[in-house]
């Protein structure tokens, strides 16, 4: 199969993101990443001299930016708040549908694989989840300043929980249900401030 001319480093990172989304840390063994990337194995330790932890950390940082773009594009649009929430969950559903609901949030899958030896990655995952909360809080601008961070925290938890249950049932319904529930939650704040 012809591939676009990306360099090996990029291929390793893309393959890692996909494997993390499928099965977390345990799915992203270096040999599996090399095999999935179709990049020359000899170059792996040139790009990632510190091995798997470095590879996973860099892939998670790229994944952080993908999700931040989704948040900015969907929650940052000019649509009504409820429509923006619905569009965000629809976007996540569309991405999951590409893999027939077999790939979900890379950070979520890594978090549920962490052992006590993975403190560095645990801290990184926590920072990424918090960065999404910060991004979302800014974009929920209709809410009072005090309500934005709790609402964004709720949104990020719900995105994780809904992706997990969507993988269990293999369809987008949990993401629709989560969007509807979050809009009901939000209504209490927007009514208060109205």
Q: Can you give the binding site for a second copy, defined by CB under 8 A?
A: 22-24, 26-27, 102, 104, 107-109, 111-116, 122, 125-126, 129, 150, 153-154, 156-162, 164-165, 167-170, 174, 177-178, 180-181, 184-185, 187-188
Output the smallest distance, CB 59 to a second copy, in A. 16
Output the smallest distance, CB 166 to a second copy, in A. 9
Output the smallest distance, CB 123 to a second copy, in A. 9
**Residue 52's Cα: distance from chain center in Å?**
20
Cβ nearer to a second copy, comparing 8 with 151: 151
Cβ nearer to a second copy, comparing 12 with 182: 182
Q: How far apart are CA 44 and CA 136, in angstroms?
A: 35
Q: Are 176 and 93 in contact (CB under 8 A)?
A: yes
CA-based nearest residue to 124, from 167, 68, 71, 63: 63
The dihedral built from the CA positions of residue 152, 56, 114 and 25, taken in this order, carries a sign that is positive
Cβ nearer to a second copy, comparing 8 with 70: 70
Which tokens hold the place of 159? Answer: 């995105």
CA-based nearest residue to 54, from 42, 44, 41, 68: 44
How many other CB atoms are there within 10 angstroms of residue 64's CB atom? 20
What angle is formed at CA 98 by the lines to CA 93 and CA 103, rounded to 5 degrees? 75
Output the smallest distance, CB 77 to a second copy, in A. 24
Output the smallest distance, CB 121 to a second copy, in A. 10
Cβ nearer to a second copy, comparing 40 with 169: 169
Cβ nearer to a second copy, comparing 75 with 162: 162
């Amino acid at each position: 199969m012809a591939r676009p001319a990306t360099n090996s480093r990029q291929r390793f990172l893309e393959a890692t993101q996909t494997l993390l989304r499928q099965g977390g840390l345990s799915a992203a063994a270096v040999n599996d990443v090399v095999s999935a990337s179709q990049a020359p194995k000899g170059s792996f330790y040139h790009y990632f001299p510190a091995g798997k932890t470095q590879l996973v950390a860099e892939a998670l940082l790229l994944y952080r930016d993908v999700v931040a773009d989704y948040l900015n594009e969907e929650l940052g649009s000019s649509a009504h708040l409820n429509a923006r929430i619905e569009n965000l969950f629809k976007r996540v559903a569309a991405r999951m549908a590409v893999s027939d609901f077999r790939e979900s949030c890379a950070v979520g899958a890594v978090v549920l694989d962490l052992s006590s030896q993975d403190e560095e990655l645990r801290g990184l995952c926590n920072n990424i989840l918090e960065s999404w909360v910060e991004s979302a809080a800014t974009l929920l601008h209709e809410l009072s300043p005090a309500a934005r961070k709790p609402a964004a925290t709720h949104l990020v938890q719900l995105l994780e929980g809904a992706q997990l249950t969507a993988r269990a049932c293999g369809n987008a319904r949990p993401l629709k249900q989560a969007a509807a529930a979050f809009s009901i939650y939000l209504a209490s704040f927007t009514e208060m401030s109205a």
